[in-house]
A = this chain, B = another copy of it.
Amino acid sequence: MPAPFDLTLYLVTDPRLVAARGLLATVEAAVRGGATLVQLRDPQAHGRALVEQARALKALLAPLGIPLIINDRVDVAVAADADGVHLGQDDLGPADARALLGPHRILGLSVGNPAEYAASDLSGVDYLGVGPVTATGTKADAGAAIGAAGVAAVRALTRLPIVGIGGIHAALAPEVIRAGADGVAVVSAICAAPDPQAAALALKQAVTAAR
């Protein structure tokens, strides 16, 4: 089993949205504001660049006790000694990923709705990313928005920790938490914010107040 991890405020990076401020500066500000978990996501980047980015993030986050999750690439996660991997439905199967990751890394899986949950191999999965909650501009291949009701529907099916994702902002976060999510994952609400630290703080407060 992985060490305990905290899904309260899960930052997912976007290479275009962080370009102006820089990846490390954005993540650092988000963590200062209260982000509890960070996912490196850059579907267009090649393996070597991803490993370099992951190592830089790991050096920033490990001393702060914030786990680093890598989107999709299990090989990159192991090479950079990241804390885990987040898989979409088109990525390596969870059992294949778990065999490569060993027992102690965190393994997350995206689930778009109850039917997708029911069809998923959940062996070795530590948490679920459920969404998109609302329409999102940052992920072209995201499925149909499921709303807080969709989060509640998946919540009713599983005891795994759940993080809601997809177009979530501070005003929407309480509804997602009340639907049973253990936390919220955001991309643009932090990466595109004028002040990522303040944005993270507002999100964190919204989540904790709604519990």
Contacts and interface: CB of A to CB of B under 8 A. Distances in A.
Interface string A73-86: 11110110000000
Interface string A174-202: 00000000000000000000000000000
B76 A92 contact: yes
A48 B90 CA distance: 5
A48 B96 CA distance: 9
A93 B49 CA distance: 10
A20 interface: no
A159 interface: no
A142 interface: no
B72 A100 contact: no
A47 interface: yes
Interface in A82-133: 88-93, 96-97, 99-100
